[in-house]
Copies of this chain bind each other. A is one copy, B any other.
Amino acid sequence: MGKNKVGDEVQNKQIIFRDYVIGYPRETDLYISTTSTIKLQVPQGSKTVLVKNMFLSCDPTMQFLMRKDESPLSRSYKYIPGSPINGFGVAKILDSGHPSFIAGDLVWGTTGWEEYSLILNPDKLYKIHHTDVSLSYYTGILGMPGITAYAGIFEVGSVKKGDCVFISAASGAVGQLAGQFAKLLGCYVVGSAGSQEKVDLLKNKLGFDDAFNYKEELDLDAALKRYFPEGIDFYFEQVGGKMLDAVLLNMKVHGRIAICGMISQYNIPHPEALENLLHIAFKRLTIKGFTYRDHHHLYPNLLETVLPYIRENKVVYVEDIVEGLEKGPEALVGLFSGRNFGKQIVKVASV
């Protein structure tokens, strides 16, 4: 692609959304199109930017944009059948009509699942200033999952030294970072994940005090009592269902729960009944739902905190990168069943 110049008309491989689905999206609900072309130039007078996509992020909530049934996410964000899907990504600007960007800038933000994208609203893009770290990190530790983990631990959860912290989906894009942040603060941190390999990762590489495979625990309540004999101060919730129900039994009085997702409940026809919601009142718990959306202002704090740790290898970030846009559908769908090992990313191109 290096030979292409601004103004050239080139082939633009795309991942196209077939149609809305009921329940789990499958690989076949997406297909690769090689018939589109794109002119590597922004329309004259527009404030758009034309980018070459490098890394695409696979995020759990993308499934809502593919679903037929009503979902908590507004219809207006849903994918359009016959068009490429979109999501967070890292890209290089090839041409710009926007005063904030020039050709050659590296950015992260919402982009299309295709080789090149014309981005209509570049105001929402973040310019990448630090390139001594892996550019893929801007889909994860230095991108949206980073903001989510930072906000959950430092702001929403007000986590402090000595807290007993439990993190579900702990080896995922957000969880692995939330756990490391809590460790840096001086907490006791235990994570749950869905395989022995992930548990080993948490204990041996990511510095969690302990970890367990929730699929091998017949009794989640008993498992939590094993790791938190005195109860949980703060729970970083990403899975919902039976895990949340067991956690409610094990929270300390005045405990806090930050909820940024409930992936176990996204694709079942009827959510699991929670038996223990009464504990919210009896234990006077505080539960806060949050997403990165309300915490963009923390991005400078995230960079300031985490960049030195990355450079000193004091924070580790595990990525599961597949090579090539055509591997995108498999990687995305695999994420919904936890097939990924760390942050799931699709590499589309090098700089």
The yes or no answer to A22 lying at the interface (CB within 8 A) is no
Residue of B nearest to A258 (CB): B281
Interchain CB contact under 8 A, B280 and A284? no
Encode contact with B along A262-273: 1 for CB under 8 Å, 0 otherwise: 100110001111
A274→B274 CA distance, assembly (Å): 7
- Contact A261 B281, beta carbon cutoff 8 Å: yes
* A262 in contact with B289 given A73-B282, A294-B284 (CB within 8 Å): no
Copies in the assembly, this chain: 2
CB distance from A148 to the nearest CB of B (A): 11
Which residues 241-283 of A have a CB within 8 angstroms of B? 244, 254, 259-262, 265-266, 270-283
Determine whether A240 belongs to the interface, using a CB cutoff of 8 Å to chain B. yes
Q: Is A33 interfacial (CB-CB < 8 Å)?
A: no
B72 lies within 8 A of A282 (CB): yes
**Which B residues touch A286, using CB under 8 A?**
286-289
Chain A 65-76 interface mask (CB, 8 Å, partner B; 1/0): 000000011000
Q: Is A341 an interface residue (CB 8 A)?
A: no
Contact (Cβ within 8 A) A291 B281: yes
Residue from A272, A278, A291 with most neighbouring chain B CB atoms (10 Å): A278
Counting CB contacts under 8 A, is A290 at the interface?
A: yes
A residues with CB within 8 A of B? 72-73, 240, 244, 254, 259-262, 265-266, 270-291, 293-294
